[in-house]
A = this chain, B = another copy of it.
């Protein structure tokens, strides 16, 4: 491995976010606007979005998850990034780094899963690359078409409503269940949580409807966790957020009650959820909700953007600052 002869700061010390901030700074110094869910490029008058997302089996995949679902989730995760920008996914590429000891059948299921995920959202898996590695690393790159102006992270303005396309906490509960090897008393609850974790869906219809309506001023997907995504949207937009309502999924509430957990924490810090968090100017709220409802989705109001920085939680008890915390690679998790 490179750098073993160096003795500077390690990734473990700065964490993924510190590292990503350095990368964004470097790209900005080269004139590239980075740090959104996807990158944007205009080619011969056609507006495109590019995104990539990588799964490392050992750290990202709970025990018991099927290869096909792993491949599908890698596709969904990339498509969610395009969806958040209002881009229609067209094509995916899959790059696989795999151990030589892996079953051919399982490896093919990974690829098939990417294809299945792509097809669900109208995209095609067009090709890829294979390599040998000590662990399974599956990287999916996606190309999307912007038929309307893209929705960036940076567009929220004070006064805009902040809303989500669904409730949170299902995957937080499911991860708790999977990693602790627990079985909640209700089999139905167990199945629902496992489904949320292993068969996530991207909010593509909602993302496209919002782009088409031009009613959203900013958008981010919640794959890094609700709390962190709120912070990221606020920071990119240069605003603060006042959150008055955190929508918690019914099943997450039930699981939290049974296991004696805090449902709010499950919702705020779960991660790997693919809801969209959007900002909508007040005067466009009706247009935005109508557009999303017309495609069978919904917008749940969570709060409002403010002129002062930071994310304030006004939920149950005294208002407090929402910790900027979520899943982060490299750093030992709290």
* Among A17-25, A172-180, A301-309, the stretch in contact with B: A17-25
A125 near B10: Cβ-Cβ < 8 Å: no
Q: In the complex, how many angstroms separate the beta carbon of A85 from the nearest chain B beta carbon?
A: 12
Inter-chain contact B52/A128, CB cutoff 8 Å: yes
- Tell me which of B98, B130, B134 contacts A58 (CB under 8 A): B134
Assess whether B135 is in contact with A57, with CB atoms less than 8 Å apart.
no
Chain B's nearest CB lies how many Å from the CB of A125?
7
Chain B residue contacts of A249, Cβ below 8 A: none
Q: Tell me, rounded to whole Å, the shortest Cβ–Cβ distance linking A237 to chain B.
A: 18
Q: Is the CB of A137 within 8 A of B133?
A: yes
Q: Output the least CB separation between A189 and chain B (Å).
A: 26
Contact of A39 among B34, B40, B110, B127 (CB under 8 A): B127
Instruction: Determine whether A141 belongs to the interface, using a CB cutoff of 8 Å to chain B.
Output: yes
Measured in the bound complex, the distance between the Cα atoms of B65 and A52 in whole Å is 26
Residues of B within 8 A of A145 (CB): 43-44
Contacting pair B131 A329 (CB below 8 A): yes
Q: Is the CB of B125 within 8 A of A32?
A: yes
Q: Is the interface of A mostly helix, strand, loop or mixed?
A: mixed
Judge whether A57 and B16 touch: CB under 8 Å.
no
Residues of chain B within 8 A (CB-CB) of A59 are 131-133
Whole-angstrom CA separation of A128 from B20 in the bound complex: 9
* CB of A111 within 8 Å of the partner chain: yes
Contacts of A91 in B (CB 8 A): 39, 41, 50
Instruction: Of the listed stretches A1-9, A162-170, A254-262, A310-318, name the one at the interface; the rest are far from the partner chain.
Output: A1-9
Q: A2 and B127: CB pair below 8 A?
A: no
Please pick, from B22, B103, B112, the residue contacting A9 in the complex, using a CB distance under 8 A: B103
Q: Cα distance A127–B85 when bound, in Å? A: 14
Residue contact A52 to B126, C-beta cutoff 8 Å: no
User: Given the complex, which residues of B lie within 8 Å of A38, measured CB to CB?
Assistant: 127
Q: Across the interface, do B54 and A131 meet the contact criterion of CB distance under 8 Å?
A: yes
**Cα(A58)–Cα(B129), bound, Å:** 17
1/0 contact trace for A78-98 toward B, CB 8 Å? Answer: 000000000000110101011
| A2, A95, A125: most-surrounded residue (chain B CB, <10 A) | A2
Residues of A within 8 A of B (CB): 1-3, 6-14, 16, 18-20, 22-23, 26-27, 30, 32, 34-36, 38-41, 43-46, 48, 50-61, 65-67, 70, 90-91, 93, 95, 97-108, 110-112, 115, 119, 124-137, 139, 141, 143, 145, 329-331
